[in-house]
Amino acid sequence: MPQSVALEPSAKPALALRHAKDRLPISMKAVSYEAENDWLMSPLAAPCLQPPHGMLTAVDLKTRQIVWQVPTGTAEAQAPLGLKSHLPIPIGTLALGGTITTAGGVSFRAATTDAYLRAYDNATGRELWKAPLPVAAAATPMTYVSPRTGKQYVVISAGGGGLGAAQGDYVLAYALP
């Protein structure tokens, strides 16, 4: 999604922490900047470019060639004037997080404006599975193997996405077969 980003020096500290024990502020000595992001949108608050607006792309690292590309995300949570279309059209949406890949050849992504966690086949890009989330997940999924059971899980933090999306405070885990 095209946008204009301006970085301006700021007088604010780059990071201010409070030590839990004595509650004194700790200032980090770093150069601080503030970013102003302006998305290039039409007067109807619609993106100023033709879909897809977000793609998942597999690249062969030896040949540096694109193996496949698929749009990620649907128009369900997007429409002009900030409305929701509720249409599952695969337009691809802006990404507010990353993708993880398992050793089993599956990639997981939830960084779309619609509220789903999706699994993709690494060889073809085909969507294998998707699960609805309570709110969009502007996050990268995590994976871990339980030391007790040996079962692998994919975990996603769903806190809501950008562009006026609903907010939440969820952590969801899914067991892999």
Please check whether residue 143 lies inside any domain of the structure. Answer: yes
Single out the residue of 132, 142, 134 nearest to residue 160, CA to CA: 134
- Residue for token pair 């002009």: 80
Please check whether residue 108 lies inside any domain of the structure. Answer: yes
The Cα 158–Cα 147 span in angstroms is 25
**Ranges of the chain with pLDDT below 70:** 12-31, 81, 161-165
**Res 30: pLDDT:** 59
Q: Specify the number of domains making up the chain.
A: 1
- Alpha carbon distances (Å) from 42 to 1, 6, 110: 13, 20, 26
Q: What does the CA dihedral 77, 154, 54, 96 come to, rounded to 10 degrees?
A: 70
Mean of all residue pLDDT scores within the chain: 83
**Res 21: pLDDT:** 52
Burial state string for 144-170 with b = 16 or more CB within 10 A and e = fewer than 16: eeeeeeeebebbbbbbbbebebeeeee
Please check whether residue 159 lies inside any domain of the structure. Answer: yes
Helix (H/G/I), strand (E/B), else coil: 12 = coil
* Six-digit token string for 60: 């062969």
Please tell me the pTM assigned to this model: 0.77
Amino acid 125 reads G
Please check whether residue 46 lies inside any domain of the structure. Answer: no
Tens-digit pLDDT profile for residues 55-74: 999 999 999 999 999 999 88
Helix (H/G/I), strand (E/B), else coil: 156 = strand
**Res 19: pLDDT:** 47
Range of the domain at 89: 72-175
Is the bond preceding 52 in cis, omega lying within 30 degrees of 0? yes
**What 3 state SS string does 77-145 have?**
HCCHHHCCCCCCCCCCCCCCCCEEECCCCEEEECCCCCCEEEEEECCCCCEEEEEECCCCECCCCEEEE
Please check whether residue 161 lies inside any domain of the structure. Answer: yes
Please check whether residue 171 lies inside any domain of the structure. Answer: yes
